[in-house]
A and B are shown apart, each in its own frame.
Chain A
Amino acid sequence: MSITDLARPSAGVPAAVTTALAPLAPALPPSPASSSLQQQLLRGLEAPICLTWEWTYACNLQCVHCLSSSGRRDPRELDTAQMRSVVDQLAELQVFYVNVGGGEPMTRPDFFEVLEYSVDHGVGVKFSTNGGMIDADKAHRLAALDYVDVQISLDGADAMTNDPVRGLGSYDRARTAMGHLADAGFGAFKLSVVVTRHNVAQLDSFAALAADYGAELRVTRLRPSGRGQDSWTRLHPTAAQQRDLHSWLIARPEVLTGDSFFHLAAYGQALPGLNLCGAGRVVCLIDPVGDVYACPFALHEHFRAGSVLDEGGFARVWRSSDLFTELREPDNPGACTSCGHYDACQGGCMAAKFFTGLPLDGPDPECVLGHGEAALSAVNPNSLPIIDNDHSKRRRLPLAVL
């Protein structure tokens, strides 16, 4: 995640409220965040603003672009007592809320127990779900909780577009879940879409669909992480689509992006948001076994900073792990820093570079100036990083093969 979900003006908020303001510099533009603010954030915070916490690797779906290669539960996953202990640690650090994902977090038998424990301790929960386990009862239970927000994932505005990516029947199940939430009076949940080559032309349809349910639309960037490493080449938007996407988003500041398209700022106009890579500085990830990674899109040993089970717990990893300390140092000179657009795109997404085999100080694979395409053509496919944290279900061979 990049910085995630903060820096978005929202539809009901007058523009003036979301204007960045600093009394001594009243002329600051609303976005991107002022450079001094950006510098402060890049040096790191006392605790993350946005923490992604994956609750399980188990999933009832097998999406072809799953960032965390989820499918099977890991036997080492934190038990209920350990989950509560992590909540206690986060509450102590005043982490205001967590972005919960997986896997499918609702597959945990203690899902509501941990959810309620977290909320009761002042750690709000926004969780992502495919909706397959939200029935009428669960929708009412969710609607009754304060500080809980729900994101339903859908990657096509129709089943024909969605199901090849997320699995047969997943479109209908998500729509059913959306109906249950609306009927239960949950309010403005979010419809969360990963933008692909095949659904980018459906953005208006997604917006209409969200509006039908009183939901908000959230669109995020496809990353080549996890199973996405295999599917990214055929799913990521083309250069022309990326340009259209930028224009579409600029015209619709009410659409949420989790700040995930900051690499598009190099077109010349930044989208609302902090527009920086927050890895290890303002965001990080705790995985289902308690490992802490710098970036929610890079569950790989290369980005693992420690474990919540280590002495000192999460706070020690956040404050003094070698990896996080290194990430907070000023940028090293690299191929990108000499580019005139570096200040706009900040070199792009670390995870996107890593999993496509590009150097971390080089261009983003989807660099809008085209530097990524050139660099990608020079990558030896055999040199790509191995996905070392794969929980995919073992493939079932068709009977004919057996």
Chain B
Amino acid sequence: MTGMTPVGAQEDAPTSAAPTPAHALARPSGASFDPARPYRLHPKVALRPERFGALAYSYDTRRLSLLRDADLVAVVRALADAPSAGDALAAVPAVKRAAVERALARLVETGFVQPR
């Protein structure tokens, strides 16, 4: 299965009631994804390789996501050096490119990946 599965917010994820400075930064970006633009992994996100792909952890939002596809992981890692997200996505086999792109768009919306 291709995809990214946020296993949910960490306990200390932001609440609307009492954002702290650190937590305020941690809000999901809400950004929309545009494949023509350049992106990068958020500097406070760590990727850990796993059998199924990778685990991503955001030290900002304290959220964890499972990137459940090797091609998605490769695209995310390639973003920083690619002129645009679309260029990074071009390496993905055509048959699953749309699925990987949707997963990448979710990573942008949740702030794991950001425009640069």
Could you tell me which A residues sit within 8 Å of B by CB distance?
5-14, 17-25, 28, 33-34, 36-37, 40, 43, 45-47, 49, 94, 96-97, 122, 124, 126, 146-147, 149, 185-188, 190, 211, 214-216, 218, 254, 256, 258, 272-274
Residues of B within 8 A of A9 (CB): 8-9
Are A188 and B12 CB-contacts (below 8 A) given A23-B100, A46-B51, A96-B46?
yes
A17 touches which of B17, B28, B57 (Cβ 8 Å): B28
A11–B15 CB distance below 8 A: yes
The verdict on B94 contacting chain A, using a C-beta distance below 8 Å, is no
Name the CB-closest residue of B to A214.
B18
B8–A272 CB distance below 8 A: yes
The verdict on B50 contacting chain A, using a C-beta distance below 8 Å, is yes
The verdict on B27 contacting chain A, using a C-beta distance below 8 Å, is yes
Q: Chain B 38-58, CB within 8 Å of chain A: the 1/0 string?
A: 000000001011111001010
A12–B27 CB distance below 8 A: yes
Residues of A within 8 A of B13 (CB): 8, 10, 12-13
B50–A46 CB distance below 8 A: yes
A8 touches which of B9, B22, B66 (Cβ 8 Å): B9
**What is the total number of residues of chain B having a CB less than 8 Å from a CB of chain A?**
46
Name the CB-closest residue of A to B20.
A187
A216–B57 CB distance below 8 A: no
A-B contact pairs, 16 of them (CB 8 A): A9-B8, A11-B14, A12-B16, A20-B7, A23-B99, A25-B3, A28-B5, A33-B5, A49-B64, A149-B11, A188-B14, A188-B17, A188-B23, A190-B11, A216-B12, A254-B15
Complex alpha-carbon distance, A97 and B59, angstroms: 9
Residues of B within 8 A of A258 (CB): 11
Name the CB-closest residue of A to B47.
A94
Are A186 and B20 CB-contacts (below 8 A) given A10-B15, A37-B5, A216-B12?
yes
Residues of B within 8 A of A36 (CB): 1
B64–A6 CB distance below 8 A: yes
A12–B2 CB distance below 8 A: no
B2 touches which of A5, A22, A33, A49 (Cβ 8 Å): A22
Are A22 and B3 CB-contacts (below 8 A) given A13-B28, A47-B48, A187-B18?
yes
The verdict on B83 contacting chain A, using a C-beta distance below 8 Å, is no
A6–B59 CB distance below 8 A: no
Complex alpha-carbon distance, A210 and B8, angstroms: 21
Residues of A within 8 A of B12 (CB): 126, 149, 188, 190, 216
Residues of B within 8 A of A146 (CB): 22, 59
Name the CB-closest residue of B to A211.
B17
A37–B66 CB distance below 8 A: yes
Complex alpha-carbon distance, A274 and B9, angstroms: 12
B49–A18 CB distance below 8 A: no
Residues of B within 8 A of A147 (CB): 59
